[in-house]
């Protein structure tokens, strides 16, 4: 990995997610470090022997594939920067911004997450756009998580924590 300052909390987060879930959706503002965190998690988890499916749904600032696509690459070993260049699967959405293309974006994310699971990923990691402001953005994030949950991807050890998280997400998206 390139030399960057990694917050101490990232190690704790990586370990906790590794123990608790099969899906990790990374949500944050534009240029907040989502892709850097995803690369760090991919490197950390594969170094400990975990097969990671990296779903890149950042349509405008893609790490894996072409702009306007949702891409997937499965990693078995810690990747080098050049390893991100050739995704194994791509799904064309049609725009570099998800606004106005919500159905296409959600369908592409679900398709790539399903492929990740079918190809034996132990954890599927979804890198998202920085589109989080406003009701449309919130609904998009809620449904990205929801379509994965209904496929049995997300697992929380404590049902109470999951219920609280899900209620908060619905409230954030204005759907409570």
Domain-located, residue 30: yes
Q: Which residue from 82, 85, 27, 88 is spatially nearest to 52, judged by alpha carbons?
A: 88
**Burial class of residue 70, CB neighbours in 10 A (0-12, 13-18, 19+):** buried
Q: What is the domain extent for residue 92? A: 18-172
Q: What is the pLDDT of residues 61-111, one digit of tens each?
A: 999 999 999 999 999 999 998 999 899 999 999 999 888 898 899 999 999
Q: Which residue from 105, 108, 99, 172 is spatially nearest to 136, judged by alpha carbons?
A: 99
Domain-located, residue 9: no
Q: Which tokens sit at 45?
A: 């988890």
d(C-alpha 4, C-alpha 2), whole Å: 6
Domain-located, residue 109: yes
Domain-located, residue 44: yes
Domain-located, residue 158: yes
| 129 Ramachandran zone, left/alpha/beta (phi>0; psi -120 to 50) | beta
pLDDT of residue 158: 43
Number of domains forming the structure of the chain: 1
pLDDT truncated to tens, each residue of the chain (176 aa)? 456 778 888 888 888 888 877 888 888 888 888 999 999 999 999 999 999 999 999 999 999 999 999 999 999 999 998 999 899 999 999 999 888 898 899 999 999 999 999 999 999 999 988 888 888 888 887 777 777 654 433 443 344 555 565 566 566 556 65
Give Cα separations from 147 to 76, 93, 94 (angstroms).
25, 17, 20
pLDDT of residue 51: 97
Domain-located, residue 62: yes
Domain-located, residue 11: no
**In this structure, what CATH number is given to the domain that contains residue 75?**
3.40.50.300
Please give the order of strands across the beta sheet that includes 52-56.
Answer: 23-26, 123-127, 52-56, 69-75, 89-92
Domain-located, residue 5: no
């Amino acid at each position: 990995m390139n030399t960057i300052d990694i917050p101490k909390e990232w190690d704790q987060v990586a370990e906790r997610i590794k123990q608790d879930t099969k899906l990790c959706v990374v949500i944050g503002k534009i240029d907040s470090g989502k892709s850097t965190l995803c690369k760090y998690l991919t490197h950390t988890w594969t170094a400990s022997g975990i097969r990671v499916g990296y779903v890149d749904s950042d349509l405008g600032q893609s790490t894996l594939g072409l702009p306007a696509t949702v891409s997937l690459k499965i990693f078995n070993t810690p990747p080098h920067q050049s390893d991100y260049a050739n995704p194994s699967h791509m799904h064309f959405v049609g725009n570099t911004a998800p606004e106005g293309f919500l159905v296409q974006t959600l369908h592409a994310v679900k398709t790539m997450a399903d492929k990740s699971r079918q190809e034996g990923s132990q954890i599927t990691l979804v890198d998202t756009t920085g589109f989080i402001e406003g009701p449309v953005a919130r609904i998009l994030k809620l449904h990205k998580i929801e379509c994965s949950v209904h496929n049995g991807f997300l697992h929380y050890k404590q049902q109470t924590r999951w219920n609280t998280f899900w209620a908060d997400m619905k409230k954030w998206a204005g759907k409570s």
